[in-house]
Chains A and B, each alone.
Chain A
Protein backbone atom coordinates (compact mmCIF):
# COMPACT_ATOMS: atom_id res chain seq x y z
CA UNK A 1 0.00 0.00 0.00
CA UNK A 2 0.90 3.66 -0.07
CA UNK A 3 3.20 4.93 2.64
CA UNK A 4 5.29 7.92 3.65
CA UNK A 5 8.56 7.80 5.57
CA UNK A 6 9.88 10.90 7.30
CA UNK A 7 13.08 11.47 9.22
CA UNK A 8 12.33 11.16 12.89
CA UNK A 9 12.82 13.95 15.35
CA UNK A 10 12.66 15.77 17.46
CA UNK A 11 15.04 18.31 15.97
CA UNK A 12 16.29 21.47 17.66
CA UNK A 13 17.88 24.26 15.64
CA UNK A 14 19.09 27.75 16.31
CA UNK A 15 17.40 30.68 14.63
CA UNK A 16 18.64 31.31 11.07
CA UNK A 17 19.88 27.73 10.67
CA UNK A 18 19.20 25.75 7.49
CA UNK A 19 16.44 23.17 7.70
CA UNK A 20 15.99 19.93 5.77
CA UNK A 21 13.32 17.39 6.63
CA UNK A 22 13.59 14.25 4.53
CA UNK A 23 10.51 12.54 3.15
CA UNK A 24 10.28 9.53 0.86
CA UNK A 25 7.19 7.75 -0.33
CA UNK A 26 5.95 4.46 -1.69
CA UNK A 27 3.05 4.58 -4.12
CA UNK A 28 1.94 3.32 -7.49
CA UNK A 29 1.56 5.82 -10.26
CA UNK A 30 1.85 9.52 -9.58
CA UNK A 31 0.59 10.61 -6.19
CA UNK A 32 0.11 14.21 -5.13
CA UNK A 33 2.52 15.19 -2.35
CA UNK A 34 1.99 17.56 0.55
CA UNK A 35 3.64 19.09 3.57
CA UNK A 36 1.38 19.98 6.47
CA UNK A 37 2.39 21.91 9.61
CA UNK A 38 0.85 21.68 13.06
CA UNK A 39 1.66 24.55 15.42
CA UNK A 40 1.37 23.85 19.16
CA UNK A 41 -2.24 23.33 20.21
CA UNK A 42 -3.60 23.84 16.70
CA UNK A 43 -4.88 21.80 13.78
CA UNK A 44 -3.03 20.96 10.60
CA UNK A 45 -2.40 23.58 7.96
CA UNK A 46 -1.39 22.89 4.40
CA UNK A 47 2.12 24.31 3.95
CA UNK A 48 2.80 23.39 0.32
CA UNK A 49 2.05 20.79 -2.30
CA UNK A 50 3.18 19.35 -5.63
CA UNK A 51 1.07 17.31 -7.98
CA UNK A 52 3.53 16.03 -10.59
CA UNK A 53 7.17 15.14 -11.03
CA UNK A 54 9.65 18.05 -10.86
CA UNK A 55 7.00 20.42 -9.48
CA UNK A 56 8.28 22.65 -6.71
CA UNK A 57 5.93 23.68 -3.95
CA UNK A 58 6.80 26.78 -1.92
CA UNK A 59 5.28 28.84 0.87
CA UNK A 60 6.53 31.02 3.75
CA UNK A 61 10.16 30.43 2.72
CA UNK A 62 9.74 26.64 2.66
CA UNK A 63 10.31 24.63 -0.51
CA UNK A 64 9.99 21.02 -1.61
CA UNK A 65 10.53 19.43 -5.02
CA UNK A 66 8.70 16.34 -6.25
CA UNK A 67 11.44 13.88 -7.26
CA UNK A 68 9.98 10.88 -9.03
CA UNK A 69 13.37 9.22 -9.59
CA UNK A 70 14.15 9.15 -5.87
CA UNK A 71 10.49 9.06 -4.68
CA UNK A 72 11.26 11.99 -2.41
CA UNK A 73 9.74 15.31 -1.35
CA UNK A 74 12.24 16.83 1.08
CA UNK A 75 11.27 20.05 2.84
CA UNK A 76 13.84 22.86 3.06
CA UNK A 77 14.09 26.34 4.47
CA UNK A 78 17.17 28.48 4.27
CA UNK A 79 16.79 30.34 7.56
CA UNK A 80 14.38 29.14 10.23
CA UNK A 81 12.68 31.38 12.76
CA UNK A 82 11.41 30.72 16.27
CA UNK A 83 7.89 30.91 14.84
CA UNK A 84 8.64 27.84 12.66
CA UNK A 85 8.61 25.63 15.76
CA UNK A 86 5.94 23.04 14.99
CA UNK A 87 5.36 19.46 13.90
CA UNK A 88 5.80 18.88 10.16
CA UNK A 89 4.00 16.12 8.30
CA UNK A 90 4.73 14.79 4.83
CA UNK A 91 1.69 13.23 3.13
CA UNK A 92 0.46 11.83 -0.15
CA UNK A 93 -2.77 11.12 -1.97
CA UNK A 94 -2.75 8.40 -4.57
CA UNK A 95 -4.56 9.31 -7.78
CA UNK A 96 -8.14 8.01 -7.67
CA UNK A 97 -8.10 7.72 -3.89
CA UNK A 98 -9.61 10.06 -1.34
CA UNK A 99 -7.23 8.92 1.39
CA UNK A 100 -4.50 11.32 2.57
CA UNK A 101 -1.69 9.18 4.00
CA UNK A 102 0.64 10.84 6.51
CA UNK A 103 4.17 10.26 7.63
CA UNK A 104 4.80 10.09 11.38
CA UNK A 105 5.59 13.77 11.71
CA UNK A 106 8.71 15.52 12.90
CA UNK A 107 8.80 18.01 15.75
CA UNK A 108 10.99 21.03 15.13
CA UNK A 109 12.04 23.44 17.86
CA UNK A 110 13.84 26.63 16.90
CA UNK A 111 15.67 28.45 19.68
CA UNK A 112 16.53 32.17 19.59
Chain B
Protein backbone atom coordinates (compact mmCIF):
# COMPACT_ATOMS: atom_id res chain seq x y z
CA UNK B 1 0.00 0.00 0.00
CA UNK B 2 1.70 3.18 -1.24
CA UNK B 3 2.45 5.68 1.53
CA UNK B 4 2.76 8.85 -0.59
CA UNK B 5 1.28 8.61 -4.06
CA UNK B 6 1.45 11.17 -6.84
CA UNK B 7 -0.42 11.31 -10.11
CA UNK B 8 0.39 11.45 -12.90
CA UNK B 9 3.86 9.93 -13.03
CA UNK B 10 4.60 11.59 -16.37
CA UNK B 11 3.08 14.74 -17.82
CA UNK B 12 3.92 16.18 -21.22
CA UNK B 13 2.18 19.40 -22.17
CA UNK B 14 2.51 22.48 -24.32
CA UNK B 15 3.62 25.93 -23.20
CA UNK B 16 0.78 28.06 -21.95
CA UNK B 17 -1.35 25.17 -20.72
CA UNK B 18 -2.62 24.74 -17.16
CA UNK B 19 -2.00 21.45 -15.38
CA UNK B 20 -2.41 19.87 -11.95
CA UNK B 21 -0.46 17.24 -10.04
CA UNK B 22 -2.16 15.38 -7.22
CA UNK B 23 -0.65 13.96 -4.05
CA UNK B 24 -2.14 11.79 -1.34
CA UNK B 25 -0.60 10.27 1.77
CA UNK B 26 -2.04 7.51 3.92
CA UNK B 27 0.46 7.82 6.76
CA UNK B 28 -1.64 10.11 8.91
CA UNK B 29 1.04 12.81 8.74
CA UNK B 30 0.11 16.40 9.48
CA UNK B 31 2.58 18.12 7.14
CA UNK B 32 2.94 17.83 3.37
CA UNK B 33 5.42 19.39 0.94
CA UNK B 34 6.17 20.02 -2.70
CA UNK B 35 9.76 19.92 -3.93
CA UNK B 36 11.15 20.63 -7.39
CA UNK B 37 14.12 18.67 -8.75
CA UNK B 38 15.86 20.28 -11.69
CA UNK B 39 17.84 18.62 -14.46
CA UNK B 40 20.99 18.66 -12.30
CA UNK B 41 19.14 16.75 -9.55
CA UNK B 42 19.06 19.76 -7.22
CA UNK B 43 16.09 19.64 -4.84
CA UNK B 44 14.38 22.78 -3.64
CA UNK B 45 11.33 23.16 -1.46
CA UNK B 46 8.38 25.00 -2.96
CA UNK B 47 5.55 24.77 -0.45
CA UNK B 48 4.59 23.17 2.82
CA UNK B 49 1.18 22.70 4.43
CA UNK B 50 0.48 21.70 8.00
CA UNK B 51 -3.03 20.38 8.54
CA UNK B 52 -4.33 22.33 5.52
CA UNK B 53 -2.56 25.55 6.48
CA UNK B 54 0.25 27.00 4.33
CA UNK B 55 3.43 27.29 6.41
CA UNK B 56 6.22 27.51 3.83
CA UNK B 57 5.98 29.41 0.58
CA UNK B 58 9.37 29.80 -1.05
CA UNK B 59 10.12 32.19 -3.86
CA UNK B 60 7.96 30.48 -6.44
CA UNK B 61 6.14 32.20 -9.34
CA UNK B 62 2.51 32.81 -8.50
CA UNK B 63 1.60 30.64 -11.48
CA UNK B 64 2.11 27.80 -9.00
CA UNK B 65 -0.76 27.38 -6.55
CA UNK B 66 -0.94 24.60 -3.99
CA UNK B 67 -4.25 23.44 -2.59
CA UNK B 68 -4.83 21.20 0.41
CA UNK B 69 -8.46 20.06 0.70
CA UNK B 70 -7.58 17.98 3.76
CA UNK B 71 -4.43 16.98 5.57
CA UNK B 72 -4.03 13.82 3.48
CA UNK B 73 -3.99 15.65 0.15
CA UNK B 74 -1.82 18.37 -1.34
CA UNK B 75 -2.30 19.24 -4.98
CA UNK B 76 -0.21 21.53 -7.16
CA UNK B 77 -1.78 23.56 -9.91
CA UNK B 78 0.40 25.31 -12.48
CA UNK B 79 -0.94 28.01 -14.79
CA UNK B 80 0.54 29.17 -18.08
CA UNK B 81 3.26 26.55 -18.16
CA UNK B 82 6.72 27.62 -19.35
CA UNK B 83 9.65 25.62 -20.70
CA UNK B 84 11.57 26.28 -17.46
CA UNK B 85 8.89 24.50 -15.46
CA UNK B 86 10.12 21.20 -16.88
CA UNK B 87 11.39 19.22 -13.88
CA UNK B 88 10.52 16.38 -11.56
CA UNK B 89 8.11 17.41 -8.81
CA UNK B 90 8.11 15.45 -5.58
CA UNK B 91 5.46 15.39 -2.92
CA UNK B 92 6.45 14.45 0.63
CA UNK B 93 4.93 14.20 4.08
CA UNK B 94 6.13 14.13 7.67
CA UNK B 95 4.74 13.92 11.17
CA UNK B 96 7.73 15.03 13.17
CA UNK B 97 10.25 16.85 10.98
CA UNK B 98 13.21 15.42 12.89
CA UNK B 99 12.19 11.96 11.67
CA UNK B 100 12.64 13.01 8.04
CA UNK B 101 10.15 13.02 5.20
CA UNK B 102 8.49 10.27 3.19
CA UNK B 103 8.61 11.08 -0.52
CA UNK B 104 6.39 10.12 -3.39
CA UNK B 105 7.87 8.67 -6.57
CA UNK B 106 7.74 11.98 -8.41
CA UNK B 107 5.99 13.51 -11.41
CA UNK B 108 8.16 14.21 -14.43
CA UNK B 109 6.75 17.31 -16.10
CA UNK B 110 7.93 18.13 -19.61
CA UNK B 111 6.80 21.37 -21.21
CA UNK B 112 7.24 21.51 -24.99
List chain A positions with a Cβ less than 8 A from chain B.
Answer: 32, 34, 36, 38, 42-46, 49, 51, 87, 89, 93, 95, 97-102, 104-105, 107
A97 and B97 contact, Cβ closer than 8 Å, known pairs A43-B106, A45-B103, A46-B102: yes
C-alpha gap A33/B55 in the complex (Å): 22
Kindly state the interface size class of chain B when it binds its partner: 20 to 34
User: What are 25 contact pairs spanning A and B, CB under 8 A?
Assistant: A32-B98, A34-B100, A36-B100, A43-B104, A43-B106, A44-B103, A45-B103, A46-B100, A46-B102, A49-B100, A51-B98, A87-B41, A93-B98, A93-B100, A95-B98, A97-B97, A98-B31, A98-B33, A98-B48, A98-B94, A98-B97, A102-B44, A104-B40, A105-B41, A105-B43
C-alpha gap A38/B99 in the complex (Å): 18
List chain B positions with a Cβ less than 8 A from chain A.
Answer: 31, 33, 40-45, 48, 50, 55-56, 90, 92, 94, 97-106
| Nearest chain B CB to A68 CB, angstrom units | 16
| Total A-B Cβ pairs within 8 A | 60
| Nearest chain A CB to B90 CB, angstrom units | 6
